[in-house]
Amino acid sequence: MATVKKLVIVLLVAYGIAFSLAVKAQQAPRDGPHYTNGTNLVRPTDYREWTFLSSGLGMTYQPAAGSQSAPTFGNVFVNPSSYRSFMRTGKWPNGTIFVLEVRNSDSEGSINKAGRFQTSLAGLEAEVKDSRFPDGWAFYGFGSAGSVAEPLAGDKVAPCVECHTKNTAVERTFVQFYPTLLEVARQKGTLKPGF
């Protein structure tokens, strides 16, 4: 009888361990921002696997100039859990992280006869919704090779805050350039006045 009890206990423990491992394996990994020193953002290595929002060619904050330089592409990605939350609510949850990947462009290559295509990485920036920061958002610049970035501060962040306050459609984000999300924001009533 003691052997049967021991066997039952061993089987229950084994079942408990197997069940907890199965539950843990099904949980989505945390895809929000990761920090060092509390506020220095670690560059997300898997951002290209996140939800792709849009790409722009030659977009600039400055008036158009007669520049001869090739326009860059700006590719925008957002962490998947925040995208799913926005699709349900029309708002960005705390822990949202946008990555702006800036890539150079070219028009001469392989069989291409017209138009432009993306080439080397020119820079990487991030915007994070984090209630610990002033106004709830932080901005980061990684350059083309940085692995950790401090939040922009002072004169470096002032233009970002001003622009993202005045010109964005939802909270501090340029939803007006992401057609699918713009429609969700309209349906959920989260667009700023004027959009």
Helices (H), 40-126: 80-89
Name the CATH topology of 30-188: Chalcone isomerase (3.50.70)
Confidence (pLDDT) at 135: 87
Provide the H-helix boundaries in the chain.
2-26, 80-89, 158-166, 179-188
Report helix, strand or coil for 172.
coil
- Which of 118, 81, 73, 80 minimizes the C-alpha distance to 100? 73
Strand 97-106, strand 117-129: pairing: antiparallel
Sign of CA dihedral 103, 43, 169, 89: positive
Which two three-digit tokens encode residue 38?
């509390």
pLDDT in tens, 54-65: 999 999 877 766
Closest listed residue to residue 97, CA positions, set 71, 113, 78, 118: 78
Predicted pLDDT of residue 1 = 67
Nearest to 105 by CA among 120, 83, 88: 120
**pLDDT attached to residue 9:** 66
Q: What is the mean pLDDT of the chain?
A: 88
Locus of tokens 């306050």: 165
The answer to whether 178 touches 171, Cβ cutoff 8 Å, is no
Reported as a single tens digit per residue, the pLDDT across 74-122 is: 999 999 999 999 999 999 999 999 999 999 999 988 888 889 999 999 9
pLDDT in tens, 6-33: 665 655 565 656 555 554 444 445 899 9
- C-alpha distances (whole Å) from 54 to each of 63, 146, 151 are 22, 23, 24
pLDDT in tens, 144-186: 999 999 999 999 999 999 999 999 999 999 999 999 999 999 9
Q: What percent of the chain has pLDDT over 90?
A: 73
Q: Taking a C-beta distance cutoff of 8 angstroms, is the pair 126, 135 a contact?
A: no
